[in-house]
Amino acid sequence: MAQTAASEASVTTLPQRFLLDPALKADATAVRVTPDMTYDATRGYGFTNTRDGNEVALAVKAAPGDYRVRVTLGAKKAESRTSIWAEDRRLMLAPVVLKKSETKTVEFIVNVRDAAVITSEQDAKGKAPRVGLRGDEDIGRTWDDRLTIAFSGPSPAVQSVEITPIKARRILIAGDSTVTDQAGTDYASWGQMLPRFLASDVSVANHARSGETMKSFVTSLRWDKLLSDLRAGDVVLMQFGHNDQKKQWPRTYVDAERSYPAWLKAFATDAQTRGAKVVLISPVSRRSFQDGKITNTLAGYDDAVRKVAAELNVPFIDLTAKTKTLYEALGPEISPLAFGNNGQDKTHHNAYGAYQIANYVAQAITDPQSGLGLKAAPDFTAFDPAHPADPKHYDLTPADWPVMREAPAKISGN
């Protein structure tokens, strides 16, 4: 890989330990941050809390790469419940609940990237092409020059945050709006929930974006960017189909019988050539009930993924079938509680729906028979789509979900 050492290294402020609890004594190895310290580029750290939100978001200037984050939680005088998110709301762990005076230190790995596509020494000298960012990406946390860790919950308690650059195995995700890190308040996708269900020895880099097709993934340089960050032994998860099937988008439309399989094969072999392991995933179903059953609006596209996976002998995850089972188990009346825009959206999920689907993906990729060598989180429990959790009573509560910016435009992919 022609990525430069500079792009893999941290900025000079890292590694570093930040103290958020005023009761902790500072020492020569730690930096105290107070609530009034908003992010300052010159200083290289500070808070970027969403205005009128419910989060505490610490941002630290960081070069592209992977970072081990160690967080100590707990409060001396009160019980606490803290959820931890990275970048644009990647859920890193299950909410941590502690008794008064109880503390706990947790660790996870966060991937940081920018829009530069560095593939040669010439690119590294400031002449690199850049990913074509769209929508609100330029104001988001995914493509900036910082590592952002956010805390939310009914009673969050954070004592310290330690950030250290490391080299880690990566899981890189390519896909559309049903996969991306959604930053709008009432939307979420399975890609941003996936880290919570995995062991803390890998980083998850979600390159998916709303409105994307395989063709646009190439023309916007997102595929080039993903490949430039890919190393031998990494895992690539791919889920397309929702937008690729749109005949009303003639520039990027591909038919299910010939073009779509050809693009799938091209992407898969591209990644395999670089030593990566590939997982092909059929698109999540739309909530399209007829007589109590889900009609398959992606017919042909889901089967194409299955056939290509068999032909290439790579793992296949049938999310079309899994989500069909989930929606039907919830039923026409309850299933809207798994979807965005207060259930009015029939394609995109909210926190509950994304959380369930991410669990199914984690089940598949951590199965020893997959050959991927990935491990589940120590507290992992497999969900059964035929017997889903109550949308109003599951692992996350409304208070755990961080309120971030409203989506500036209608999300593509319906």
What was the pLDDT predicted at 13?
Answer: 59
pLDDT at 411: 59
Please give the pLDDT value at position 147. 97
pLDDT at residue 258 is higher than 70: yes
pLDDT, mean over the chain: 93
Please state the rounded mean pLDDT for residues 30-50: 95
Least trusted range by pLDDT, from 80-84, 90-94, 137-141, 339-343: 137-141
Q: Is 392 exposed, middle or buried (0-12, 13-18, 19+ CB in 10 A)?
A: exposed
Give residue 98's pLDDT: 98
Chain centroid to CA 255: 28
- The answer to whether residue 6 scores a pLDDT higher than 50 is no
**pLDDT (0 to 100) of residue 9:** 38
What is the structure's pLDDT at 3? Answer: 40
Query: Is the predicted pLDDT of residue 373 greater than 60, yes or no?
Result: yes
Locus of tokens 């902790």: 24
- pLDDT of 15-39, one tens digit each? 799 999 998 887 888 999 999 999 9
pLDDT tens per residue, range 162-213: 999 999 999 999 999 999 999 877 899 999 999 999 999 999 999 999 999 9
The arithmetic mean of pLDDT across residues 41-49, rounded, is 95
Percent of the chain residues past pLDDT 90, beyond the cut: 85
Q: Say what the pLDDT of residue 10 is.
A: 39
Whether the per-residue pLDDT at 133 is higher than 80: the answer is yes
pLDDT at 410: 56
How confident is the model over 149-160, as pLDDT tens digits?
999 999 999 999
Whether residue 1 has pLDDT greater than 80? no
CA distance 206 to 191: 6
Among the ranges given (8-22, 83-97, 253-267, 289-303), the one the predictor scored with the smallest mean pLDDT: 8-22
- pLDDT on residue 404: 76
Scanning the structure block, which residue is given the tokens 């996350």? 396
> For 265-279, what is the mean pLDDT?
98
pLDDT, residue 2, reads 38
Cβ count within 10 A of residue 384: 14
Examine the pLDDT at 409 and tell me if it is beyond 70.
Answer: no
Q: Which residue has the tokens 């692992």?
A: 395
- Region of poorest pLDDT, from 17-21, 101-105, 126-130, 246-250: 126-130
Kindly report, residue by residue over 204-224, the tens digit of the pLDDT: 999 999 999 999 999 999 999
